[in-house]
Amino acid sequence: MAGSKKSKERKEQFTTSSGITVKRVYDFSCALTTKTFEQKLGEPGMYPFTRGVQSTLYRGRLWTMRQYAGFGDAKQTNARFRYLLEQGQTGLSTAFDLPTQIGYDCDHPFAQGEVGKVGVSISSLEDMETLFDQIPLDRVSTSMTINAPASVLLAMYIVVGEKQGVSIEKLSGTIQNDILKEYVARGTYIYPPEPSMRLITDIFAFCANHAPNFNTISISGYHIREAGSTAVQEVAFTLANARAYVDAALAAGLAIDDFAPRLSFFFNAHNHFFEEIAKFRAARRIWASLMRDEYQAQNAKSWQLRFHTQTGGSTLTAQQPDNNIVRVTLQALAAVLGGTQSLHTNSRDEALALPTEESARIALRTQQIIAHESGVADTVDPLGGSYFIEALTDDIEQQSLTYMKGIQEMGGAVRAIEQGYMQREIQTAAYETQLKIEHKEDIVVGVNAFTTTSDKEPILHKIDPHLEIEARDRIAQVRSKRDADKVTQALNKLRQAAIGQDNLMPYIISAVREYTTLGEICNVLREVFGEYTPQQF
Amino acid sequence: MNRPIRVLVAKPGLDGHDRGALIVAQGLRDAGMEVVYTGLRQTVEQIVHAAIQEDVDCIGLSSLSGAHMALFPAVVNELKKQGVHDILVIGGGVIPPDDVRQLKSLGIAEVFTPGSTITDMAQFIRLHVKEKKWTGDFEPPTKVDHIGIAVNDMKSAIEFYEGLLGFSIVHDEQIEDQQVHAVFIQVGELHIELLESTSDNGPIARYISTKGPGIHHIAYRVTDIEDWLIRARQAEYRLIDEAPRNGGQHKRIAFLHPKGTQGVLTEFCEVIQSDS
């Protein structure tokens, strides 16, 4: 297979994470296929968007530097938000703690030990008011990593906006709202798939009418990749999930061009530099063709795959943590060369704890250096036309389409997930990666090679243990101050609506306004919808 | 009593990150253990109940959500409350060094953070499950497996053992991490292991520079190497290897420090029973 000259090489075979064989050298013959250059690439900002969704890309406006942050209580996170905005960050991204993400108030028994740990604890509108205190919601865009209870947090955000005097159509931001990947890879599900899909399409419909600047979903490959998938699986499973949402919305009677322009995506930037760049380009091309040709969307905005990127958390090492700054830099560069719309760079200490303020600042500075010093943002798709990048883009596209076809034949993403198909595929890939590291076929610097014995221990972020108690006191106060009858009424109306067919968003907004808690709202929906229990595969 | 080690891999609390738990479960299965995985969102009571029901030897707790300080010790306490004292509890996840130390003082036997290998975990579990159930019974070593001899010059050593004495070489290998070239000579039932350093400051080079060439260690063949490490440790002999390591030639080995053994470096050596 190799050329005639067989000089000795470091490895028998060079492959990417997806098992794509990397050749010694690429030339024009690798980029020759039946499609023409125009069909495959086109101009930036034009179908099929391989080169990017905007014609000017970062020459117009740099990507949004959006660092995921949240810990402790709303007051602490509000302070971190304001710090990040002062440091030049251009959008907010909210991390919620696990009780919030699973729809439990901070005083629920299951919340014990988890309050404020992986994100901020939000139980009622009052917490949300504190979270965005002195942050004008008409001037920032806010991304919220919230899925199963997305409608409740969106409702809280809308009501906080109202109280600030910002009307709903001026709000901009994103809710993650991607339940399918929770079943596959992330684990913060509440309800079974069917009612979950209804909650999601209710949000699509509500926002199409009232919140035109809100991204109603961020369909996420990030967590699929973190769970151990390959780059190809990341693209294929994410886009298969995306199809399922589109199908659900169409089945609920929405018109494709009414909701498709507000679909957004979220990918990982992992280690294999070129494969990652090609991955972003391939994902754009697949989506464009799917939306235009298969779903017959007419609005060009419906064809555009806009995405957020986060550098790969699972690539960070607990050993020699400063090395992570370098990993993050390379991954962030891949995301930028791949044309991301927004970016989160991980902090060096995240394999050990939540980041300290200093680590978070270095991570943000990394983006700023790429943006302002490297020159890579000055032209669109600078690697377009590279023999290697184009060949890899083609390979990833082809392999992803094959996977997606298989999932369609199983009856779509929801069925594939219920059968454990995606979970098994990811698990197999994750285990193979682990074995390669243990056998030193894959080198991880500082872990299975180039180790040192005496790492000095970094200073790490600590969560105040009293916080959980204070949060419980606060929610008790909220419950005692509010009008209990109005809360009961709001919950009864919500229950009736959930049993029926109405769009649930207005009922949830009404309930939130009365300081009905997150847990109370989710409990009513649990009663009506039931809870998801995964099979063990 | 010779059933495989049984392990419960458990996810306490609300954390949904199960990549590590799933990999560990599969890896320990491949290492010959029986593994039950609880799935996500288990309460402390559910985990302890499952451990007792499944009659496991070890519980492996995984949390990446920062709730480990609340949840891991709670499992240890609940086991005590249920009167269970012979189940080993270990943990893993994104856990800062300070917390690791505290958890260990609260009865979590070991904490495996990112970068840990399944091989190390399996090794640890084998050794410590044994120790938990250790009765003090033992079988004496069956024989001298080999005698290690440090040599300055492999060529003349071979000339002596093969040329003059007429023994045959049965194995020849470079052990890179020990910076040593080892040649095994068959002498009746036992082997002589000739050891030549491949670098100026490897362990054998250092040995020769202080003591000169000559007998370096004696290795005893044992049927169960973990038993011997536990027995030696409990009798307060100093161990060079806290856990057995691979010695090549289908053997697992571990050394005792010569300080406690009248100056003789002593090795335990177990032949791995190939089961396939």
Mean predicted confidence (pLDDT) in B110-117: 93
Nearest residue to A93 (alpha-carbon basis) of A137, A160, A145, A15: A145
Q: Which of B163, B144, B117 is nearest to B266 (CA)?
A: B144
% pLDDT > 70, chain A: 97
The residue whose two tokens read 């270095």 is A362
pLDDT single digits (tens) A485-496: 999 999 999 999
Q: Quick one: A501 exposed, middle or buried, by C-beta within 10 A (0-12, 13-18, 19+)?
A: exposed
- The distance of A204 to chain B (nearest Cα, Å) reads 26
For residue B203, the tally of other CB atoms under 10 A from its CB is 15
Number of domains in chain A: 1
Q: What distance in Å separates residue B193's CA from the closest CA in chain A?
A: 27
Q: Per the domain annotation, does A400 fall within a domain?
A: yes
Asked if B16's CB is within 8 angstroms of A187's CB, the reply is: yes
Distance (Å, whole) CA A494 – CA A485: 14
Residues B112-122: what's their mean pLDDT? Answer: 93
**pLDDT for A6:** 60
Residue A484 has pLDDT above 90, yes or no: yes
A251 inside domain: yes
Residue A178 domain boundaries: 28-46+60-438
Residue A121 has pLDDT above 50, yes or no: yes
* Rounded Cα distance, A303 and A291, in Å: 5
Q: What ipTM describes this predicted complex?
A: 0.91
Burial class (CB in 10 A: 0-12, 13-18, 19+), B97: middle
Domain-located, residue A348: yes
Per residue in A38-93, pLDDT (tens digit) is 788 889 999 999 999 999 999 999 999 988 888 889 999 999 899 889 988 878 99
- Taking a C-beta distance cutoff of 8 angstroms, is the pair A174, A131 a contact? no
**Does the pLDDT of residue A365 top 80, yes or no?**
yes
CATH code of A195's domain: 3.20.20.240
The predicted pLDDT at position B1 comes to: 47
Q: Residue B77 corresponds to which tokens in the numbers above? A: 């306490």
State whether residue A536 sits within 8 Å of chain B by CB: yes
Q: What does the pLDDT average to over B9-25? A: 95
Worst-scoring range by mean pLDDT, A30-39, A99-108, A155-164, A213-222? A30-39
Q: Per residue in B222-262, pLDDT tens?
A: 998 988 998 998 899 999 998 888 887 888 999 999 988 99
B15 to chain A nearest CA, in Å?
7
Read off the pLDDT band of B8 (50, 70, 90): very high
For residue A463, name the pLDDT band (cuts at 50, 70, 90).
Answer: confident
Is B21 touching A (CB cutoff 8 A)?
Answer: no
Q: Which of A98, A437, A460 sits opposite B14 (nearest CB)?
A: A98
Q: Which residues of B touch A457 (CB under 8 A)?
A: 97
Q: Kindly tell me if the per-residue pLDDT of A3 is higher than 80.
A: no
Say yes or no to pLDDT of A327 above 90.
yes
A76 inside domain: yes
Q: Please spell the DSSP secondary structure of B121-139, one letter per residue.
A: HHHHHHHHHHHHT--S---
> Residue B274's pLDDT band (boundaries 50, 70, 90)?
low
- In the predicted model, is pLDDT for residue A2 greater than 90? no
Cβ contact A269:A279 at 8 Å? no
Nearest CA in chain B to A96: B65
pLDDT of residue B276: 39
Across B146-170, average pLDDT = 95
Place of tokens 């769009």: A503
Intra-chain end-to-end CA distance of chain B, in Å: 21
* A348 contacts A342 by C-beta, under 8 angstroms: no
Question: Tens digits of per-residue pLDDT, A258-277?
Answer: 999 999 999 999 999 999 99
Residues 6 or more apart whose CB falls under 8 angstroms from that of A81 comprise A69, A92, A131, A132, A135
Whether residue B199 lies within 8 A of chain A, CB to CB, comes out as: no
Confidence bin at A1 (pLDDT 50/70/90) = very low
Q: Which residues is B192 bridged to in the sheet?
A: B147, B185
Q: Is residue A122 part of a domain?
A: yes
- Distance between CA atoms of A367 and A66, rounded to whole angstroms? 10
Percentage of residues in chain B having pLDDT higher than 70: 98
Q: Does A519 touch chain B (CB under 8 A)?
A: no
Is residue A497 in some structural domain?
Answer: no
Q: Residue A14 pLDDT more than 70?
A: yes
Q: Give how far B141 is from chain A: nearest CA, Å.
A: 32
Domain presence at residue A55 = no
Contacts of A27 (CB under 8 A, 6+ apart): A387
Helical packing angle, A231-251 and A193-210, nearest 10°: 70
Across residues A405-415, what is the average pLDDT?
A: 97
Tens-place pLDDT, residues A419-432: 999 999 999 999 99
Measure the CA–CA gap between A524 and A150, rounded to whole angstroms.
15
Q: How many C-alpha atoms does B105 have within 13 Å on its Cβ side? A: 5
Q: B81: pLDDT confidence band, cut at 50, 70 and 90?
A: very high
- Is the CB of residue A29 less than 8 Å away from at least one CB of chain B? no
Q: Which residue of A has its CA nearest to B37?
A: A536
Tokens coding A138: 């008409």
Whole-number pLDDT of residue A5:
57
- Report the alpha-carbon distance of residue A217 to residue A62 in Å, rounded: 22
Residue A467 lies in a domain: no
Cα–Cα distance measured from residue A447 to residue A434, given in angstroms and rounded to the nearest whole number: 12
Q: Does A353 touch chain B (CB under 8 A)?
A: yes
Name the minimum distance, in Å, from the CA of A14 to any CA of chain B.
24
Q: Least CB-CB distance to A227: which of B19, B69, B118? A: B19
Q: What's the pLDDT at A36?
A: 75
Query: Confidence band (pLDDT; 50, 70, 90) for A32?
Result: low
B65 and A186 in contact by Cβ < 8 A? Answer: no
pLDDT beyond 50 at A392: yes
Q: What is the pLDDT of residues A330-352, one digit of tens each?
A: 999 999 999 999 999 999 999 98
Say yes or no for a CB contact (<8 Å) between B40 and A534: yes
Kindly state whether B23 is in contact with chain A, defined as any CB-CB distance less than 8 angstroms: yes
Mean pLDDT, chain A, as a whole number?
Answer: 94
pLDDT at A34: 60
Residue A257, pLDDT score:
97
Is the pLDDT at A29 greater than 80, yes or no? Answer: no
B143 close to B220: Cβ distance less than 8 angstroms? yes
Q: Report the residue of B9, B11, B18, B19 to disrupt the A interface, i.e. the one with the largest count of A CBs within 10 Å.
A: B19
Please give, rounded to a whole number of angstroms, the shortest distance from the CA of A428 to a CA of chain B.
9
User: Is the CB of residue A412 less than 8 Å from the CB of residue A243?
Assistant: yes
Q: What average pLDDT does the segment A397-403 reach?
A: 97
Residue A37 clears pLDDT 90, i.e. is over it: no
**What structural domains does chain B harbor?**
6-132 (3.40.50.280), 143-271 (3.10.180.10)
